[in-house]
């Protein structure tokens, strides 16, 4: 995730003689990549790519903490000057009642009521800084909550206290189909399991961790505010935000975890801002509900392990200094993890990573790998994929890549529904390649009179309480191609893969002079072989003839072929030649490699064929 951090805002926390370009280089070397420096309103704004595990760094304070440890290692001054915020003098308890249905939803729930609110424009420095990080100023109360989210990494929300009906807040999970209108004016239908707040009259007033509801917003008439600062279950916030397709700055921070111990300091800083810039007065006691205890986390400090991971010997004093600069406190043979890194640091290797990045990857020795290159055994399926694609290319087929998702109309019943589809066109995982190949064909009707396409890809078959099966399928489709040509291309592919014996497939005739087939590619690979069998030319002549048969319905060519070839070993070739209505013409070749086969012998074999076909398949010779 990329964030914007103005240089002048960083100066609230750290005094340094490093220039913006030098700050960017240092941060990129030891922590996060600075993608670019944007010149904006006389300031330098850093665009920083923060790694997914570092939710603590999605703020000005988080980046400043990193620079406090990094800059001295690049020989720059770094004096910490975090402003001191005193806790306010809480007034009498308010009448607001809070009920939390499931404690795991909200590990920490903190709030305070402020009255005498005067809604007006924010001071220029807040408006300018919000604009620099891409947030639109609205009014002093909302701007302060947004400002401190970007500053401290702690999302917070301000309710109009008088719009919380019944003097009650109930935190619970949503029921499927419930609706509310969020602050952006959009009505949202909720899936089950989203964290919401309901007031005393049953109205939903907050889509927790994502966006507040319109019915409780702060506006120009607001006189009392409930300032709400909290920690949510990050997994639920992530799932809810993705399911709703509504990604907000607050959700992006909540889903990565919030500094548990930073909640109350952030709340009191917001109170101080509201007092100064909105004339607010505290009118309630502090509500601070701890649903989950978060004891101090200690990780064993293993110097040998750190050096083993680093591949170099780093002095113990240097290791201690690096960890101390990053906020770790040494206690005996372990260190206490700072609260803002609670979810990120668990094992000795995590400490090693912290030490090594501050020590500098550029200080680690460069060694070229030595030894024999290990032999690679390619997966058979990859070889056969290449063989199949190469063959089809030479047969005039164009390869297609279609989306793994499709819509209900294309895929029919039985497809797995995607919880958070990108669009309505991609609601289901495909169970067949042919519907989307057909769509490709229809879009390319003007390409030419003859079109041949294929796709080799996975489909998705549902399994109870498990990830879907993902078998490989080969889909082929043609337009303006003769049936026998299309069938011959498939049979040629089977032969190209070295498959001996029968491999059944079905060709579908589609409207618009189109033909289609879908093959189980994994079954093809299971039978494929690179072994080549040499059969020397015979010194004797073969006898060839055509047989026209009357075939009843529901009898397949494969059944006939299998039976005929099994009749006598001197039948060396059988091929489809023609079909008309229920008349099937076969080309048959007889050969004896030991002696010249005679017409009498072929007559005996032929009669045996007719007998087997009639007795077992009710297939007769056309008279």
Structure tokens at 231: 């920690």
pLDDT digits (tens, 9 = 90+) for 138-197: 999 999 999 999 999 999 999 999 999 999 999 999 999 999 999 999 999 999 999 999
Asked if 301 and 351 touch (Cβ cutoff 8 Å), the reply is: yes
- What is the distance, to the nearest Å, from the Cα of residue 268 to the centroid of all Cα atoms in its chain? 38
The secondary structure of 504-520 as a DSSP string is ----EEETTTEEEEEEE
CB 144 within 8 A of CB 274: yes
Token couple for 26: 């240092």
C-alpha distances in Å from residue 391, one per residue of 196, 198, 377, 454, 479? 57, 63, 23, 12, 19
pLDDT given at position 368 = 84
Rounded CA separation 584/622 (Å): 9
Given pLDDT bands bounded at 50, 70 and 90, which one contains residue 389?
Answer: very high
The C-alpha atoms of residue 538 and residue 535 are separated, in whole angstroms, by 9
d(CA 616, CA 307): 78
pLDDT digits (tens, 9 = 90+) for 439-494: 999 999 888 889 999 999 999 998 887 889 999 999 999 999 998 899 999 999 99
What angle do the packed helices 303-310 and 348-359 form, to 10 degrees?
A: 60
- pLDDT at residue 132 is higher than 80: yes
Q: Could you please report the per-residue DSSP string of 53-106?
A: T-GGGSSHHHHHHHHHHHGGGGT---EE-PPP-------SPPS-EEEES-GGG-
pLDDT band of residue 219 (cuts 50, 70, 90) is very high
Instruction: Supply the mean pLDDT for the chain.
Output: 92
For residues 426 and 98, give the distance between their C-alpha atoms in angstroms, rounded to a whole number: 41
Least confident of 238-252, 481-495, 496-510: 496-510
Task: Tell me: pLDDT of 608 over 90.
Answer: yes
DSSP 585-608: EEEEEE--SSS---HHHHHHHHHH
What are 305-317's pLDDT values in tens digits?
A: 999 999 999 999 9
Euclidean distance between CA atoms 498 and 370, whole angstroms: 40
Q: Are 171 and 208 in contact (CB under 8 A)?
A: yes
Share of the chain above pLDDT 70, in %: 98
Domains defined along the chain, listed by start: 2-80 (3.30.56.10), 97-290 (3.50.40.10), 298-362 (3.30.56.10), 380-527 (3.30.930.10), 543-621 (3.30.70.380)
| Residue 351, both tokens | 């400490």
Nearest to 432, CA basis, from 489, 532, 506: 506
Hey, what are 561's tokens?
Answer: 């072929």
Q: Kindly report, residue by residue over 19-71, the tens digit of the pLDDT.
A: 999 999 999 999 999 999 999 989 999 999 999 999 999 999 999 999 999 99
- pLDDT on residue 520: 96
The helix/strand/coil state of 521 is: helix
């Amino acid at each position: 995730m990329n964030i914007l951090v103005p240089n002048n805002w960083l100066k609230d926390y750290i005094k340094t003689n490093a220039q913006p370009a030098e700050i960017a280089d240092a941060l990129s070397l030891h922590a996060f990549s600075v993608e670019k420096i944007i010149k904006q309103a006389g300031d330098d704004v850093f665009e920083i790519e923060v790694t997914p595990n570092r939710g603590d760094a999605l703020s000005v304070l988080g980046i400043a903490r990193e620079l406090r440890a990094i800059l001295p290692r690049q020989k720059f001054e770094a004096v910490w000057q975090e402003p001191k915020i005193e806790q306010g003098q809480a007034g009498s308890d308010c009448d607001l009642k809070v009920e939390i249905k499931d404690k795991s939803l909200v590990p920490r729930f903190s709030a305070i009521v402020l009255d005498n609110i005067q809604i007006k424009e924010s001071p220029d420095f807040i408006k300018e800084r919000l604009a620099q990080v891409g947030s639109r100023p609205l009014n002093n109360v909302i701007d302060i909550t947004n400002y401190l989210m970007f500053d401290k990494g702690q999302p917070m929300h301000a309710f109009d206290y008088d719009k919380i009906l019944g003097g009650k807040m109930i935190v619970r999970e949503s029921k499927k189909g419930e609706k509310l209108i969020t602050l952006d004016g959009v009505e949202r239908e909720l899936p089950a399991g989203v964290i919401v707040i309901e007031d005393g009259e049953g109205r939903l007033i907050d889509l927790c961790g994502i966006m507040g509801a319109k019915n409780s917003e702060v506006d120009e008439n607001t006189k009392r505010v409930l300032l709400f600062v909290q920690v949510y279950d990050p997994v639920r916030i992530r799932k809810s935000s993705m399911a709703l397709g509504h990604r907000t700055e607050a959700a992006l921070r909540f889903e990565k975890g919030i500094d548990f111990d930073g909640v109350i300091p952030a709340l009191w800083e917001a109170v101080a801002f509201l007092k100064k810039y909105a004339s607010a007065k505290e009118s309630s006691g502090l509500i601070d509900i701890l649903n989950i205890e978060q004891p101090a986390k200690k990780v064993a400090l293993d110097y040998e392990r750190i050096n083993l991971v680093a591949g170099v010997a780093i002095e113990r004093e240097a290791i201690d200094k690096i960890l101390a600069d990053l906020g770790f406190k040494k206690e005996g043979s372990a260190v206490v993890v700072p609260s803002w890194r609670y979810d990120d640091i668990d094992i000795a290797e995590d400490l090693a990573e912290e030490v090594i990045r501050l020590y500098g990857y550029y200080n680690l020795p460069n060694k070229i790998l030595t030894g024999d290159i290990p032999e690679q055994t390619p997966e058979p399926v990859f070889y056969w994929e290449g063989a199949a694609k190469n063959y089809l290319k030479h047969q005039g087929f164009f390869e297609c890549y279609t989306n793994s998702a499709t819509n209900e109309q294309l895929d029919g019943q039985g497809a797995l529904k995607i919880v958070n589809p990108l669009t309505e066109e991609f609601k289901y995982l495909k169970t067949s390649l042919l519907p989307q190949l057909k769509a490709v064909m229809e879009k390319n009707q003007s390409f030419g009179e003859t079109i041949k396409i294929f796709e080799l890809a996975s489909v998705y078959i549902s399994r109870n309480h498990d990830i879907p099966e993902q078998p490989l399928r080969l889909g082929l489709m043609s337009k303006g191609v003769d049936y026998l040509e299309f069938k011959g291309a498939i049979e040629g592919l089977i032969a190209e893969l070295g498959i001996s014996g029968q491999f059944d497939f079905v060709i579908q005739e589609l409207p618009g002079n189109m033909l289609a087939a879908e093959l189980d590619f994994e079954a093809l690979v299971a039978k494929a072989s690179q072994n080549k069998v040499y059969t020397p030319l015979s010194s004797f002549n073969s006898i060839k003839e055509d047989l026209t048969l009357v075939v009843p319905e529901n009898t397949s060519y494969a059944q006939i072929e299998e039976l005929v070839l099994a009749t006598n070993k001197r039948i060396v070739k059988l091929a489809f030649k023609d079909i008309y209505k229920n008349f099937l013409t076969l080309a048959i070749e007889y050969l004896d490699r030991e002696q010249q086969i005679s017409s009498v012998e072929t007559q005996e074999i032929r009669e045996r064929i007719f007998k087997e076909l009639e007795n077992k398949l009710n297939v007769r010779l056309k008279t």
